[in-house]
Amino acid sequence: MDETEVAAALGALAHPVRLRIFRALVVVGQDGLTPGVMSEALGMPSTSLSFHLKELSRAGLVTQERASRHLVYRAEYARMGDLVGYLTENCCQGAPCAASELACKC
């Protein structure tokens, strides 16, 4: 990831609602969630949810796939890993980071 992509991803996650949405998608895993299920589970109007999903999508943190008549959103784990990797790359002043051993193996 370059600095522009990192800034876009961090900016998207900086909003508390988008962070809640992203966490919900990460927790549910590769099955993903439909907007209806997310809206109900998060207690959020569908119009607000749609706006926030668009921002997360634009930052590359979520993907969208059509499954018959429904849209399914999923966390983009590779992008999440790239972001965490970028943030931890120099966390130990150039020495190998212990954090890399704790990386999510999704």
Domain ranges of the chain: 3-102
Number of CB atoms found within 10 A of residue 97's CB: 16
| Separation between Cα atoms, residue 25 and residue 75, nearest integer Å | 5
pLDDT tens for each residue of 57-83: 999 999 999 989 999 999 999 999 999
As assigned by CATH, the class of the 3-102 domain is mainly alpha
Q: Which pTM value belongs to this model?
A: 0.83
User: Across all residues in the chain, what is the average pLDDT?
Assistant: 89
